[in-house]
Amino acid sequence: MGEDVRFLFDFVSPYSYLASTQIRGLASRYGRDVEPVPVLFAGMLDATGSRGPAEIQSKRHYMHWDVVRIARALGVPIEPPATHPFTPLAALRVTGCIPESMARWRLIDALYRAAWVEGQRVDQSEVVVRIADDVGLDGHALLEQATSVEGKARLRHATEQAVRAGAFGVPTMFVDGEMYWGVDSLPYVESLLGGEKTMDPAGLARWRAVVPSAVRRGAG
């Protein structure tokens, strides 16, 4: 068995939700486990000087149509959330306090279902606690850990580490040293796990050697 696939996600992202329903089954076909890593998408945006799709009106409208289309193709239920964007800090921090992967996935699945199928307010601490209790965890104890200095630092560190590794959005998958972004990258993740070489290093070097001859005003 090779290294675990690292799956970076944020509950605010419907694309992360959709990818979360597929990545474990995909990885297991090749004898891999998936390590779920909660990160703060807003922190990534701040670090890279970007804006989320829900913050740009035309992208927001497209996203609504796109996530429904993808969910239908995958056979995954999805409904409009109670509010969006929302603040996922409590949910992310609580999830990050669970060391055991299967228990962490259990809560992740329940929180995603609550947010993106049932329209529950997972931005509210009491909702997160209740959902954690419902899946057999100690929600109050987890919230206490999550709101500690260490709990807050854990999420911040994971986000900073992701940005240093080159991540700029969610979902992001790291597989055998390669980074894949977006639910639409899952077929390429599968190709790599199946042994297909996805990029020639020399070809990649040529692409990275290209320099811009124009810079948009206000960019950078």
pLDDT tens profile 128-162: 999 999 999 999 999 999 999 999 999 999 999 99
Contact 111, 122 (CB under 8 A): yes
Cα–Cα dist 1/168, whole Å: 28
Parallel, antiparallel or unpaired: strands 5-9 and 172-175: antiparallel
> Domain spans of the chain?
5-208
Q: Extract the tokens encoding 129.
A: 């606690």
Instruction: Give the least confident one: 12-21, 168-177, 210-219.
Output: 210-219
Candidates 13, 16, 20, 125; catalytic one: 13
Contact 192, 183 (CB under 8 A): no
Cα–Cα dist 114/92, whole Å: 14
Residue 13 among the catalytic residues: yes
Residue type (1 letter), 36:
P
**Mean of all residue pLDDT scores within the chain:** 95
Q: What is the mean pLDDT of residues 62-66?
A: 94
Parallel, antiparallel or unpaired: strands 178-181 and 34-38: unpaired
Asked if pLDDT for residue 196 goes beyond 90, the answer is no
Q: What is the mean pLDDT of residues 5-12?
A: 98
Asked if pLDDT for residue 75 goes beyond 90, the answer is yes
Cα–Cα dist 79/10, whole Å: 17
Confidence of residue 201 (pLDDT cuts 50, 70, 90): confident
Please tell me the CATH superfamily of domain 5-208, with its number: Glutaredoxin (3.40.30.10)
Q: What is the mean pLDDT of residues 74-79?
A: 98
Q: Which residues pair with 38 in a beta bridge?
A: 9
Confidence of residue 2 (pLDDT cuts 50, 70, 90): confident
pLDDT attached to residue 218:
64
Q: Reply yes or no: is the peptide bond before residue 36 cis, omega within 30 of 0.
A: no
